[in-house]
Amino acid sequence: MSCLFLLPTAYFGILICCVLIIAATEWGALTGMTRNSRALFATACAALFAYMVWGVQASDATRSSVATIYAASSVFWIVVAPIWLARGIRIRSSFSATALGFLVIVPCGLAAVSVHAQAPEILLGMLGLIWIADSAAYFAGKAYGRHKLAPSISPGKTIEGAIGATFASLAYASLAALVSPLLADVVGSIGWMAYLGVATLICALSIVGDLFESLIKRQANVKDSGKLLPGHGGILDRIDSVTSTLPLAALLSGYLLSMS
């Protein structure tokens, strides 16, 4: 976590690009791409990411393009992904795999760099909220889980776990606003209801992202997205909830920080 504060944004972007390349390679494997296609897809993701990161400071047009990417990603996760999960839609063509991969992976990387440039503590706070939600869902589900959330996708997840994640996220967000002057200013600008509403939405999207990757893995008949992290799977297994939340966080953070 020290890299969030010790690395300048340019070097942090290089780190994120490396993570993105691995994630894109894993995505290609999950969606049935050939080895050459996976390499080409990962290269294309990295090239698009590098171009947008380099250009984000270059012109208003580029900034507008990045914001459009965040908005498109947010619409996908808020509207399309839940429908995708409910219907159990399969990726049936290389074009669909490529287009969806770009939408899942690249905006997340761009958002990480964008939020880091605005305020590293905001990025750390966002990651903290996601991790708290994930941990709370696990423990609440273990202790109180009775009703399956998505049995055909991820049998271990429960409605009670999701409720626990929501309450933990709200508690975390409230505490963060009390100790962080930056977040306190945001709350002062938009009010507690709107602030906690955003935290609730972020928590919900983290669950959607987790379930979405679980669906892709189940359709690929694999347990983990990769073997890079022994005992923990691949990179996508670690960032599944981040892919669905950071684009919206980046979209909102610039607006909210400008108001505070």
Average pLDDT over residues 100-111: 96
Q: Kindly report, residue by residue over 132-159, the tens digit of the pLDDT.
A: 999 999 999 999 999 999 999 999 999 9
CA dist 94 and 128 (Å) reads 35
- At 137, give phi and psi (nearest 5°): -60, -40
Q: Which residues does residue 154 pair with via DSSP β-bridges, in sequence order?
A: 150
Q: Is the pLDDT of residue 232 over 80?
A: no
Q: What is the pLDDT of residue 97?
A: 93
Mean pLDDT of 210-218: 96
Write down the pLDDT at residue 140. Answer: 96
Q: Which amino acid is at 167?
A: F
pLDDT tens track for 26-62: 999 999 999 999 999 999 999 999 988 876 555 565 6
Closest CA to 81 of 203, 204, 202, 212: 212
- Pairwise CA distance, residues 169 & 66, whole Å: 27
Average pLDDT value for residue range 227-251: 90
Beta-carbon contacts of 27 under 8 Å, excluding residues fewer than 6 positions away, are 41, 97, 101, 104, 105, 225, 236
Whole-angstrom distance, CA of residue 153 vs CA of residue 215: 5
Average pLDDT over every residue of 226-252: 90
- Per this entry, what is the length of the chain? 260
CA-to-CA dists, residue 226 to 27, 135, 236, angstroms: 9, 22, 8
Whole-number pLDDT of residue 193: 96
Q: How far is Cα of residue 97 from the mean position of the Cα atoms in its chain?
A: 18
Domain boundaries along the sequence of the chain: 3-259
